[in-house]
């Protein structure tokens, strides 16, 4: 027994020594490309696909996640436990290079943010949590808290490159079940309800220009007199857009929206952000709007017919929707996002995210699985998060 114990302890000591040697070697300085200064090597490596750099060596892997490396796009989602009725959600990021899900740091609020997903008054549905992506930022805009009140007095902005949350300007009227969208770096909210239904709130429209900010992360002497604030815009003609959480899609200087989701009869309107005016949605666009909709770089609008699982894009010349592909994985789609040549669609039931490369010939579709025990509630496409120093060391 004593000999066995001695051998076991000796083996453990040997393994510990090897681990220390490996860490010491890893933490020693390694040039990116032997024989080249690092600044020259970086210029060369910036032109290589991140997926290739990630698989070669640790120093190149750390470079991919460093602040100096051009950020690649990744998926951001809101996750909920799949078998729990608790009101618990997680903000998460899927990194396509490492193929890993990572949790975002929670918003630094006291008391902590509490968002309601379930309530006894709404047995058959989730209460909506509304978020958008603007200028490389993830923005949480509206949600519900106990007792059925707006959860946010101001938006919360997450910057993936700094990995920090920043509070936005305070809402004049906090709201939920509203219209939310963005165009050209400007956030728009409209309609919805506050602590109770108010016809003035249900018709109101406000905008917030993210470019007019002065924070510790981005400010120069030309911006000292600029602050984040909400501005009132021309209102809606009625309160019909306060019945659901509505996604307003930014497209060619306009905001497009419908007041009911899915195949049900609906009304559609378009807001011109330049002239601050409203008009009816073209008939062909409205007829084909049968599920979630997203715009690629605000130039091409895509939609998924949630009952047929058909991905289509809008042709403004013919006022019609052109079929791209039909796939079972797209049936029941509730949310989608488009950027970087990819269209990401939350699969029915939130059990995965279908990613369609609309630039590929032939078209390709892959499914990103969710973390075990979780379902996806929404999807956004934003730059990847920078890696913390501690995470970089753990890569070794």
Q: What whole-number distance in Å separates Cα of residue 344 and Cα of residue 353?
A: 6
81 or 212, which is more confident: 81
DSSP strand pairing (130-134 vs 137-142): antiparallel
Rounded to an integer, the average pLDDT of 309-330 is: 97
Rounded to an integer, the average pLDDT of 278-293 is: 96
112 or 141, which is more confident: 141
Q: Is the pLDDT of residue 12 over 50?
A: no
CA distances from 314 to 218, 285, 339 (A): 36, 7, 16
Question: What is the structure's pLDDT at 300?
Answer: 97
Q: What whole-number distance in Å separates Cα of residue 304 and Cα of residue 312?
A: 6
Q: Is the pLDDT of residue 19 over 90?
A: no
Q: Which residues contact 253 (CB under 8 A, 6 or more apart)?
A: 183, 184, 272, 273, 274
Looking at residue 389, the DSSP 8-state letter turns out to be H
Rounded to an integer, the average pLDDT of 9-26 is: 47
Rounded to an integer, the average pLDDT of 109-130 is: 77
Q: Is the pLDDT of residue 207 over 90?
A: yes
- Round the average pLDDT of the chain to a whole number and report it: 85
Q: What whole-number distance in Å separates Cα of residue 218 and Cα of residue 394?
A: 30
Asked whether the beta carbons of 233 and 206 are under 8 A apart, the reply is yes
Distance of CA 65 to the CA centre of its chain: 19
CA distances from 196 to 87, 149, 175, 201, 234 (A): 22, 8, 9, 10, 22
Q: Is the pLDDT of residue 216 over 50?
A: no
Determine which of 170-179, 216-225, 330-339 has the lowest per-residue pLDDT on average.
216-225
- Pick the most confident of 14-18, 82-86, 111-115, 364-368: 364-368
Confidence of residue 121 (pLDDT cuts 50, 70, 90): low
Q: Is the pLDDT of residue 323 over 90?
A: yes
Please give the domain boundaries of the chain with CATH numbers for all domains. Answer: 11-65 (no CATH), 73-213+225-383 (2.120.10.80)
Q: Which residues contact 267 (CB under 8 A, 6 or more apart)?
A: 240, 258, 259, 260, 281, 286
373 or 343, which is more confident: 343
Confidence of residue 285 (pLDDT cuts 50, 70, 90): very high
Q: What whole-number distance in Å separates Cα of residue 131 and Cα of residue 347?
A: 18
The strand order across the sheet containing 293-296 reads 293-296, 300-305, 310-315, 320-326
251 or 66, which is more confident: 251
361 or 123, which is more confident: 361
Q: Is the pLDDT of residue 247 over 70?
A: yes
Q: What confidence tens digit (pLDDT) does each residue in 167-201 have?
A: 999 998 899 999 999 999 999 999 999 888 899 99
Confidence of residue 31 (pLDDT cuts 50, 70, 90): confident
Rounded to an integer, the average pLDDT of 33-46 is: 88
Rounded to an integer, the average pLDDT of 31-55 is: 88
Confidence of residue 38 (pLDDT cuts 50, 70, 90): confident
Confidence of residue 136 (pLDDT cuts 50, 70, 90): very high
Tokens of 106: 């929670």
Asked whether the beta carbons of 313 and 324 are under 8 A apart, the reply is yes
Q: What confidence tens digit (pLDDT) does each residue in 228-238 have?
A: 899 999 999 98
Question: What is the structure's pLDDT at 112?
Answer: 83
Confidence of residue 123 (pLDDT cuts 50, 70, 90): low
Confidence of residue 380 (pLDDT cuts 50, 70, 90): very high
DSSP strand pairing (164-167 vs 156-159): antiparallel
Asked whether the beta carbons of 300 and 306 are under 8 A apart, the reply is no
48-54 CB contacts, 8 Å cutoff, 24+ apart: 50/97, 51/96, 51/97, 54/97, 54/98
Q: Is the pLDDT of residue 152 over 70?
A: yes
Q: What confidence tens digit (pLDDT) does each residue in 68-105 have?
A: 888 999 999 999 988 766 678 899 999 999 999 999 99
Asked whether the beta carbons of 75 and 368 are under 8 A apart, the reply is yes
Rg (CA), the chain: 24
Question: What is the structure's pLDDT at 124?
Answer: 55
């Amino acid at each position: 027994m004593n000999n066995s114990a001695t051998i076991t302890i000796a083996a453990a000591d040997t393994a510990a020594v090897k681990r220390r040697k490996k860490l010491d070697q890893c933490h020693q300085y390694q040039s990116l490309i032997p024989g080249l200064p690092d600044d020259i090597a970086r210029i060369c490596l910036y032109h290589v696909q991140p997926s290739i750099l990630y698989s070669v060596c640790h120093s190149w892997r750390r470079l991919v996640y460093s602040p100096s490396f051009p950020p690649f796009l990744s998926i951001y989602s809101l996750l909920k436990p799949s078998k729990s009725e608790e009101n618990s959600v997680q903000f998460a990021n899927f990194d396509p290079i490492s193929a890993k899900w990572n949790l975002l740091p929670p918003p630094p609020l006291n008391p902590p943010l509490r968002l309601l997903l379930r309530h006894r008054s709404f047995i058959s549905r989730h209460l909506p949590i509304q978020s958008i992506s603007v200028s490389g930022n993830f923005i949480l805009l509206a949600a519900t808290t106990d007792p059925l009140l707006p959860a946010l007095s101001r938006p919360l902005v997450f910057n993936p490159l700094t990995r920090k949350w920043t509070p936005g300007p305070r809402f004049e009227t906090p709201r939920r079940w509203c219209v939310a969208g963005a165009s050209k770096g400007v956030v728009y909210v409209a309609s919805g309800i506050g602590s109770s239904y108010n016809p003035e709130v249900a018709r109101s429209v406000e905008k917030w220009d993210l470019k007019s900010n002065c924070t510790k992360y981005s400010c120069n002497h030309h911006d000292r007199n600029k602050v984040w604030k909400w501005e009132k815009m021309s209102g809606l003609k009625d309160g019909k857009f306060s019945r659901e959480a509505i996604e307003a899609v930014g497209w060619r200087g306009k905001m497009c929206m419908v007041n009911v989701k899915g195949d049900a009869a609906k009304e559609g309107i378009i807001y011109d952000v330049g002239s601050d005016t409203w008009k009816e949605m073209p008939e062909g666009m409205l007829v084909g709007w049968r599920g979630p909709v997203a715009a690629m770089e605000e130039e091409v609008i895509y939609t998924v017919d949630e009952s047929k699982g058909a991905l289509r894009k809008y042709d403004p010349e013919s006022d019609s929707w052109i079929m791209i592909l039909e796939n079972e994985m797209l049936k029941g789609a509730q949310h989608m996002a488009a950027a970087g040549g990819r269209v990401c669609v939350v699969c029915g039931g939130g059990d995965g995210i279908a990613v369609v490369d609309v630039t590929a010939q032939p078209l390709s579709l892959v499914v990103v699985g969710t973390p075990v025990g979780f379902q996806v509630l929404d999807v956004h496409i934003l730059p990847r998060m920078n890696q913390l120093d501690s995470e970089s060391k753990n890569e070794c």
